[in-house]
């Protein structure tokens, strides 16, 4: 982001290189904005799940499992099937970025799913992955369908989520450059 050859370090945290991926996803002074961007996505999805489909828990802890494993959302369907979902905003700089982010979330929460399966429950884990520049992982559509979100509403929600993400990323970037809080 800095265009001079003098000092490539991040002006906020001193990281070795101030790049757009660093500013939007890794520069710690912006962690509050990352959380708000993440929660905006999570809340849109939670509101889109029909109450007739099942119950939604946010940041649910599972007794008997590592206390550090707290998935963003757990949907318990009327059938008893459990769907563990986590949300992430990844920087979309490579074709594999979304797949890597999704697999990281699946691997992280797989112990919960295995625990539930040992208890005799049908359980799945997936992720909703959005790019910090506003791109949408097509694999999200299957996850939304699993959560009972209609195709028509999922199409609208995709646009709203991408728009929200762009707005939050813009606010992070402007605040980084100007020191003026944008939210």
**Tell me, what's the pLDDT at 95?**
77
pTM above 0.85, yes or no: yes
Rounded distance between C-alpha atoms, residue 174 and residue 177, angstroms: 5
Per DSSP, the three-state class of 134 is coil
Take residue 132 and report the two structure tokens written for it.
Answer: 């910090």
Tens digit of pLDDT at every position of the chain (183 positions): 555 567 889 988 988 899 999 999 999 999 999 999 999 999 999 999 999 999 999 998 887 787 889 999 999 999 999 999 999 999 988 879 999 999 999 999 999 999 999 999 999 999 999 999 999 999 999 999 999 999 999 999 999 999 999 999 999 999 999 999 888
> What pLDDT sits at residue 29?
94
Look at the chain and count its residues.
183
Other C-beta atoms closer than 10 Å to the C-beta of 104 total: 15
Classify burial at 166, counting beta carbons within 10 Å of its beta carbon; exposed 0-12, middle 13-18, buried 19 or more.
middle
What is the rounded distance in angstroms from the CA atom of residue 80 to the CA atom of residue 116? 11
Tens-digit pLDDT profile for residues 147-183:
999 999 999 999 999 999 999 999 999 999 999 988 8
The span from the CA of 77 to the CA of 10, in Å, is 45
The span from the CA of 54 to the CA of 98, in Å, is: 28
Pick from 114, 133, 132, 134: nearest CA to 124: 114
């Amino acid at each position: 982001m800095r265009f001079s050859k003098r000092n490539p370090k991040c002006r906020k945290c001193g990281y070795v290189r101030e790049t757009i991926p660093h500013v939007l996803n890794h520069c710690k002074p912006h962690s509050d904005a990352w959380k708000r961007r993440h929660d905006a996505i999570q809340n849109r999805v939670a509101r889109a799940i029909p109450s007739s489909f099942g119950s939604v828990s946010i940041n649910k802890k599972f007794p008997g499992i590592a206390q550090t494993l707290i998935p963003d959302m757990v949907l318990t369907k009327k059938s008893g099937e459990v769907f563990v979902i986590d949300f992430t905003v990844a920087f979309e700089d490579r074709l594999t970025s979304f797949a890597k982010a999704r697999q990281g979330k699946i691997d992280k929460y797989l112990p919960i799913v295995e625990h539930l399966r040992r208890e005799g429950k049908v359980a799945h884990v997936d992720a909703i992955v959005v790019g910090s520049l506003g791109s949408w992982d097509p694999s999200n559509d299957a996850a939304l369908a699993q959560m009972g979100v209609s195709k028509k509403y999922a199409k609208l929600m995709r646009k709203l989520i991408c728009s929200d993400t762009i707005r939050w990323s813009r606010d992070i970037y402007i605040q980084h450059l100007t020191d003026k809080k944008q939210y």
